[in-house]
Amino acid sequence: MGQEVVVLDGDSLTIKSLLEITRKGKKVELSEEAIKKIKKSRKIIESKLDKDEIIYGVSTGFGKLSDAVISPSERGILQTKLIKSHSIGFGPFLPDEIVLGAMIIELNSFCRGASGIRIEIAELLQKLINEKVIPQVPSVGSLGASGDLSPLAYIARILIGEGKAKFNNEVLKGSEILKRIESTPIELQAKEGLSLINGTHVLTSFAAHSVYDSINVLENSVLAVGLTLEAFDGNTRAFSSFVSNLRPHKGQIKFAKAILDILEGSTLLKTEPKRIQDPYSIRCSPQVHGAVLDVICHCKRVVEIELNSTTDNPLINLETSEVISGGNFHGEPIGLAMDYLCIAMTDLGNISERRVNLLLDASISGLPSFLIKEPGLNSGLMMIQYLDAAIAAENKILASPASIDNISVSANQEDHVSMGFTASKKAYQLVRNIVQMVAIEFYTAYQALGFKEDKNKISNIVLEIFNFISKDIPLLTEDKFFDEEVNWVARKIENQLFTDIAKKKLGHIFGDNL
């Protein structure tokens, strides 16, 4: 077992380790203790079936049909029929990393030994993950209670040799993929179909990737503010520890300190400010960005609890051998957290757009209009704010909470659903929008810094970022196509190249424990 393996035990999966599998290609292994738990929980189920005990979804139908008792000879058939009947969705297929993440989260959930599956199910799921088999899962169909029934059914189809999935850049039938990885279709037994589709794994995968990317874009937003402050000749006194300590929210304190660290060496820290007070989008950035940081930290805690939870139903108690019906499949914890994240990230975009406006408005910034020589003949960066505003408008729609909605289903048996899948899916999209907005601020501030005659007066970190960009993007001297240049900046944000520059000098931006 080397560094390229993440061991799943049901208790220690983190957002970071999940993404090391989905984005960096690490493989998974099951811990010895997890294997023991899985086998023990299956023995409990089989023992109860031998005694003809009535167990929901094992010896009965599902949802409103739970009063229907299923004969022993039909219990395996019931589970296969469940996969077939619940494979209903539409829309573009989910991103590969989201589907793979859901499979990992599901396998980690099985490691807790509360689901009653055979070890063969876990082993095949592990193999599919390690072979990077990506089931094709439609993006619409889950209510986030009972978990992600529809999308998980599409994943489960591959285990029984049905459906389609991507494998080695080909889209193949499930049966063909199993042949290629030298496996055979699973014949589902009692409880197993239900365990495979009854969980919050897909919405949690969306949430985990969204939180990780939110942390990255927020760290980059600190650098963007640093560039804007230098270009705007901003007043840094508002970032003093004296101010933050009088209102000791952790996020505000961390953000203000990070700004001062990034501006180390700048004459802004040593000279009289150009203005007594800057506009709110600069002066209040610790209060706004810091509040966003606090929201992200909350969401991270919620998601990492969910990563190491069992959201199946019914659940097997390994200590007492009881089988208990509960509601862990309900996606409300993640749904609420993702709606919260959407609201916070939307306002992060709002304040960034306002700083872009400051830099483009000559009457406020003192810089050339729209950051171009000969404005009038040239439009410069006029349209970049239009793009910023369009993204901001879309974000406000995406920030509308999904978790406040409810539509009763299954003949009112499932009369309250979380819509957590929708909340998580839109968070994933919204965070990508914010990457583009922060890229716009980077690009605008970079062009504004080009008008500073003495670059030695700006901080070392800001200067290094400026020089890094200038190697690939020449400063604007006349109108040109620059959309691909903005996209270039966005890719560098996603790949953490700007934050790497800062972290080489500072060690971290907000602290090692984020």
Q: Which residues are catalytic?
A: 56, 86, 198, 280, 283, 329, 414
**CB–CB of 435/490 below 8 Å?**
yes
Structure tokens at 212: 């990780």
Residue entry with tokens 């501030």? 445
Of residues 288, 265, 264, 276, the one with CA closest to residue 234? 276
Which residue, among 249, 252, 224, has the nearest Cα to 239 in the 3D structure? 252
Place of tokens 């990508």: 432
- Contact (Cβ atoms closer than 8 angstroms) between residue 111 and residue 10: yes
What is the three-class DSSP state of 224? helix
Backbone angles phi, psi at 134, to 5 degrees: -115, 100
Instruction: Return the closest-CA partner of residue 506 out of 222, 217, 253.
Output: 222
Contacts for 33-37 with beta carbons within 8 Å, 24 or more apart?
33/9, 34/8, 34/9, 34/10, 34/110, 34/111, 34/112, 34/113, 35/119, 35/122, 36/113, 37/10, 37/111, 37/112, 37/113, 37/318
Which of 441, 481, 449 has the alpha carbon at shortest distance from 467? Answer: 449
- In angstroms, how far is CA 86 from the centroid of its own chain? 26
Tell me how far apart the alpha carbons of residues 82 and 78 are, in angstroms, rounded to a whole number. Answer: 6
State the pairing for strand pair 5-8/27-30: parallel
The answer to whether residues 403 and 423 touch, using CB atoms and an 8 Å cutoff, is yes
Contact 208, 307 (CB under 8 A): yes
Give yes or no for a contact between 133 and 165, defined as CB atoms under 8 angstroms apart. Answer: yes
Q: Which long-range contacts (CB under 8 A, 24 or more apart) does 240-249 make?
A: 243/286, 244/286, 247/287, 249/290, 249/291, 249/294
CA distance 279 to 506: 28
Residue 43's H or E segment, with its range, is helix 32-50
CA separation for the pair 164, 126 (Å, rounded): 18
Length of the chain as a residue count: 514
Helix (H) or strand (E) holding 173: strand 170-173
Interatomic CA distance for residues 172 and 48, integer angstroms: 39
